[in-house]
Amino acid sequence: MTTASATRQRDTPFELLRKCITILLTKDSPEPLPATYEAIYRACQSVVTISANGEGLYDRLKIELERCLTRLVEELMNSPGQRGASMNVDGENHGSVEWLGQFVQICQWFEDQIVLLRSLLTYLDQVYVVATPGLLSVKDLAYSIFASNTFENWRIVERWQAGVKDWLSWERRVRLDHELRLYIPALVSHLVSHRQYANFEAYYIDITQEFYKADSEQHAETMKADPRDFFRHVRRRIEEEDQRSKDVLLAGSLAPVRVVVEKSLLEGRLDWISTTVGPYMEVNDLDSLSSMYKLFSRVGALKVLCAAFKGYMLTSVKTIVTDEVLDDDMVGRLLQLKASADVAIYGAFYDTKPSGGPSSASLSKAGTTSSTTQVPNKEFIYALSDAFTTGFKARRNKPAEMIAKYLDKAMRKGQGTSSDSAFEKILDDALALYRFTDDKDVFRTFYHRALAKRLLLEKSASDDFEKAMLKKLKENYDPEFGMGEEMFKDLALSKEMMRDYHSKLPWDSFGQSLSVVVLQRSAWPFIARDKTIDLPLDMQDELTRYAGYYKQRHSGHTLSWDHALGTATLKARFKAGTKDLSVSLYQGVVLLLFNEAEELKYDEILEATRLDETELKRTLQSLACGKKRVLKKVPMGREVENGDVFRFNADFDDPHPKVHINSIQAKVSPEESKRTQVSIEGDRKLSLDAAIVRIMKAKKEMTYEKLKAATIDAVKNHFVPQVDVIKKRVDALVENEYLERSKRDKNVFLYVA
Amino acid sequence: MTPTPSLLKPEPYTPQRALYLFKNYADSDNPNVIGPEGFERLCAEAEIPMEGAMPLLLAWQMNASEMAKLTKEEWVKGTDIFKLSSLSALATALADLESLLIRNQKPLERSNKKDPYDRTQYWKYADDTKGAFHKFYTFCYNLVKPPQSRNIDMETSMAFWSVLLVPKYPIMTEVLEFINEKGSYKATNKDLWTMMLEFCTTVQPSLTDYESDGAWPTLLDDFVTWKRDKSSNGRPGNAMEH
């Protein structure tokens, strides 16, 4: 055979090339190449340059390529793609995925052959193709024929799509890497070589959307009891897809795939998911909150999240302020809520920006390596503030009152072992709540009264903190807190005057134990009272003496005594020993009566003290019915009746040498609150009247509508008036002829000079 | 006491007769004034019901300065305008005004027959009954208000409204019912008095066009809220029956 062929006439170069092309383009060809690469290369040179038959060769190549593709497509279409039962996972048929392997293999083979062919046919490319306009190079020709037969052949497209879909669905369903996953990046790289990746990506995105729409539907149903489960599911899904994209797709596909995943999972469920804000905040789950913020931010739904946050805050604030049973803990609960909201805002609801100027640097978290800044989202800060402001309106006046009382407690207790700055933080946090209330006047009134008591009864833990607090209140919140300075001035002056007074008395005189505090009425929140109690004569004498002394120094001033605020320390001799009793002046005066008598009837005490009866009953109750009974009441009982008889209780004993007897007064604080509220209402009427008259005096005439708005504006720094109250004040001013209704237009009021 | 026959007879007007009529009812201790007693007797004998609007119309037309009191000067001026000097003519004149202004009746037909009194004033009112009533209504407030006071007590103003407004404006019945039920309104000032008539004349009885945030006095705001609550409470019951 060898001899025979050797003797045969040598093929023409063209014929040789034709044969070689056929062999090269036949997969698993049984025939070896009849010539060396060098010889083939030369043959091509000869055909193209010597025979000038580039055209014939080119056409031949085209025909061979078409034939090759026909064979390849046939092979692909006939390939069942099944390697056997082992590929069946979960009983599923993975033939379609298997097929991808063959496809990849064929692509690879083809591409390899073309590389070779192209080198062998260099002269065709370099001489003929270059010189002939409109012709594709060997490679481009081959690829275009390959593409039109495979990527543009719907039968093939269907198969690779089926393979990709089956693979992807399996991975998404089983949530593991498919055994044949490696085919996908291989496929991708061939698709890229053939510029077919865009179609693939579009298809990938399509099926992703389809899958996740269904997935979202299904999970929303099974997890409808708790959107947090669903949210966790969403987070996991997004992570999985991100990872998969990184593993198998081009980097540019990461973002579009994630967009479609998020959109498909979340569409129509954002409101539902956002309801988890509350539950997450309750457990300080910053990780979930922050992930939710980022997610909502990416899908452009921060408004939804912010609304949910605000809704949660508002409901919580309302619940707290209207929970009358827990009024005493209102401020504590509000502070806790506010703190958790702040944690969420600064720890989750922020955007990260490259740090700019020094102004934003303060916000950056210490320890972050990159130079970025966390900027809390302003909308959330506003929402927080809105929620508190609106929530406080659910209960008029009360939050302001409770904040004032909370501060009172703090100022009495003092900083204890905590540092200055820690204590200041406690105060500042409470003041931050005060900012949210419309009822600024309520806060001021309660704070003022409590402050007055603290100062007079020396219950305040620290004068320095009191002064610092007043300064802050005055400068940052309400200039009317300037009255605090007057109060301190009064106390200092009184002390100084007392020292002077005592220094002028004999050292052993009764007057040495007198202490008087002179208060300017305008700076202190106490109402002038008529004479309330008859003091024992020697006490009264001391007061008269002091009054004389005072008059010498301040002839223009009038002193009036407020005994309800007075205190006294008595030495009492009981069987068990002598005790110092620290009591209110009322209690003291009543007790002193028992110096003269062992036993006194209620009526006798009443006559001797001439106290107001309810006041007297309260006082007796504190002495005879409380915990520390220095008087005995006959008959026994909790209430004091007109027929009762009182005796000195010589059997009284107490472990301490100094005994403080609480007056019942302290216990009736709800009643006192109510009285304060009433006086605030009265003050508000006056402020409204004054504001209306001031406005009308300036404007002379105004429609009711405008007057109303101007009035609300005029008092807004103190309180927010109710519209019907304004109208009543206008009615009253019309009646008192400060205003009159215009005859031309019933909606217009005129100022009456 | 029976009236003097000559006073009842529809004699033609003379100033002397009018003066004679005055003297007949004047106070025994002050002949220049008809006091409350004389006023009441005058009304009784002229068959003018005391509880209606006619005594008020009389006071208005005489431009009286006090309730149930007429001075000689007021009387002379007033009777001269209407040219009346008999009780029957007086009664006719007041009945005419009442039906025109209070009962919203059509004005009388002008005829050639001689009128029982001079109706010049009457025709003027008939041309603008709304304006005439407004004047009358305003006059009543000043008539009834004690001179030193800024307002009239609620009970009195309710009595006046029931005479002046209830016959003309059905909604007033409900307003009075509301004030009674509330019981907390003490007095009526000039503004409320004026705005009450304004309310009756301008607001639909259904109250659909009432502006709750307008400049109406509080009492009217409260009334409207009360009435709306009432009708909304009633509605579901009605709906069940259908």
pLDDT in tens, B153-199: 999 999 999 999 999 899 999 999 999 998 888 889 888 999 999 99
Q: Residue ranges per domain, chain B?
A: 5-134, 145-232
pLDDT-above-70 percentage for chain B: 91
Contact of B106 with chain A, judged by CB distance below 8 Å, is answered with no
* ipTM above threshold 0.90: no
Tell whether the model's pLDDT for residue B233 goes beyond 80: no
A747: which chain B residues are within 8 Å (Cβ-Cβ)? 214-215
- Would you state the torsion angle of the CA atoms of residues A673, A674, A678, A680, taken in this order, to the nearest 10 degrees? 20
Of A703, A734, A747, the CB nearest to B191: A734
pLDDT of res. A113: 93
Give the three-class secondary structure for A610: coil
pLDDT of res. B241: 36
**Cβ A731–B217 below 8 Å, yes or no?**
yes
Encode pLDDT of B16-53 as tens digits: 888 888 998 998 888 899 999 999 999 988 888 888 89
**Cβ B191–A723 below 8 Å, yes or no?**
no
A-B contacts (CB, under 8 Å):
37
pLDDT of res. A86: 41
Residues in contact with A164: Cβ distance below 8 Å, sequence separation at least 6, in sequence order? A100, A184, A187, A200, A203, A204, A207
Q: What are A569's strand-pairing partners?
A: A582
Q: How far is B189 from chain A (nearest CA, A)?
A: 6
Q: What fold, for B145-232?
A: Recoverin; domain 1 (1.10.238)
Contact of B138 with chain A, judged by CB distance below 8 Å, is answered with no
pLDDT of res. A88: 46
Q: What are A219's strand-pairing partners?
A: none
**Cβ A741–B195 below 8 Å, yes or no?**
yes
User: Taking the model in full, what pTM does it have?
Assistant: 0.70
Residues in contact with B73: Cβ distance below 8 Å, sequence separation at least 6, in sequence order? none
The whole-angstrom separation of Cα A402 and Cα A392 is 11
The CATH class, in words, for B5-134 is mainly alpha
Residue A28 backbone zone (phi > 0: left; psi -120 to 50: alpha; other: beta): left
Tell whether the model's pLDDT for residue B95 goes beyond 60: yes
Cis peptide bond N-terminal to A635, omega within 30:
yes
- Closest alpha carbon within chain A to B151: A735
The whole-angstrom separation of Cα A85 and Cα A634 is 103
Helix, strand, coil abundance in chain B, percent, nearest 5: 60, 5, 35
pLDDT mean values, one per 10 residues, chain A (753 residues)? 46 87 89 89 90 89 92 86 45 77 92 92 89 90 92 89 91 89 91 90 94 93 92 93 92 92 92 92 92 92 94 95 91 93 92 66 49 88 94 91 92 88 91 91 90 86 90 88 89 92 88 89 77 86 91 85 87 89 90 90 91 87 87 87 90 88 62 80 90 92 92 89 88 87 88 85
In chain A the domains, ranked by start, together with CATH numbers, are: 11-164 (1.20.1310.10), 301-362+371-484 (1.20.1310.10), 485-553 (no CATH), 567-666 (3.30.230.130), 671-751 (1.10.10.10)
Of A735, A736, A746, the CB nearest to B215: A746
Residues in contact with A251: Cβ distance below 8 Å, sequence separation at least 6, in sequence order? none
Of B150, B198, B214, the CB nearest to A735: B150
Strands across the sheet with A577-584, in order? A567-574, A577-584, A658-660
Task: Report how far apart, in Å, the C-alpha atoms of B60 and of each of A145, A631, B68 are.
Answer: 115, 75, 11
Give the three-class secondary structure for B66: strand
Interface of B with A in 140-179 (CB under 8 A): 150-151
